[in-house]
């Protein structure tokens, strides 16, 4: 067996399949979070009758997160068919996407984004999926070392 090949074809397939599932889970979470941001970015302050100053910021965050979701969905499909040196590239992408998900989750949790009140689920989901993406991406990336 050549250096860098995975010890088992089944292990490589399982890693790619798990990467695809994580990619789709991340994409769905991004679409949901983006939807929340886009629909709540122009909300009125309770009792004030004025639109908050976060409406433009919320729209930018919403569009960015939806775009990330679209990229994740496309990458998730490509992950399933990756082989050989492509596994290393897909692993590197998973590491980057996982880090992005962690940063977005931290921003949501810290209140930097203008998420709707009571939306702890998207932030927690971003942390979980981001961490799993980093772990899976590291496995894929190391498979070709």
pLDDT at 115: 62
Residue 4 lies in a domain: no
Residue 21 lies in a domain: no
Domain range for residue 82?
Answer: 26-142
Say yes or no to pLDDT of 58 above 80. Answer: no
Say yes or no to pLDDT of 145 above 70. Answer: no
Pick from 21-25, 75-79, 117-121: least confident: 117-121
pLDDT at 52: 46
Residue 14 lies in a domain: no
CB-count exposure of residue 85 (10 Å: 0-12, 13-18, 19+): exposed
CA distance 17 to 20: 5
Structurally, the chain folds into a number of domains equal to 1
Instruction: Give the tens place of pLDDT for each residue, 92-130.
Output: 899 999 999 999 888 888 877 766 555 678 888 889 999
Average pLDDT, the chain: 78
Pick from 31-40, 59-68, 85-94, 121-130: least confident: 85-94
Residue bearing the bigger pLDDT, 53 or 106:
106
Residue 40 lies in a domain: yes
Beta carbons of 87 and 75 less than 8 angstroms apart: no
Residue 64 lies in a domain: yes
Nearest to 20 by CA among 142, 132, 145: 132
Residue 105 lies in a domain: yes
Say yes or no to pLDDT of 139 above 80. Answer: yes
CA distance 21 to 14: 10
Q: Read off the pLDDT of each residue in 24-28 and give the average, rounded to a whole number.
A: 93
Q: Which of helix, strand or coil describes residue 51? A: strand
């Amino acid at each position: 067996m050549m250096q860098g090949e995975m010890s088992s074809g089944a292990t490589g397939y399982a890693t790619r399949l798990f990467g695809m599932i994580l990619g789709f889970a991340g994409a769905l979470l991004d679409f949901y979070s983006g939807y929340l941001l886009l629909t709540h970015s122009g909300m009125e302050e309770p009792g004030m009758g004025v639109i908050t100053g976060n409406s433009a910021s919320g729209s930018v965050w919403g569009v960015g997160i939806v775009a990330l979701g679209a990229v994740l969905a496309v990458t998730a499909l490509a992950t399933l068919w990756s082989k050989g040196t492509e596994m290393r590239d897909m692993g590197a992408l998973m590491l980057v996407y996982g880090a992005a998900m962690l940063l977005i989750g931290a921003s949501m949790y810290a209140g930097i984004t203008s998420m709707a009140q009571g939306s702890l689920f998207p932030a927690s989901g971003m942390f979980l999926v981001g961490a799993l993406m980093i772990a899976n991406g590291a496995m894929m990336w190391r498979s070709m070392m």
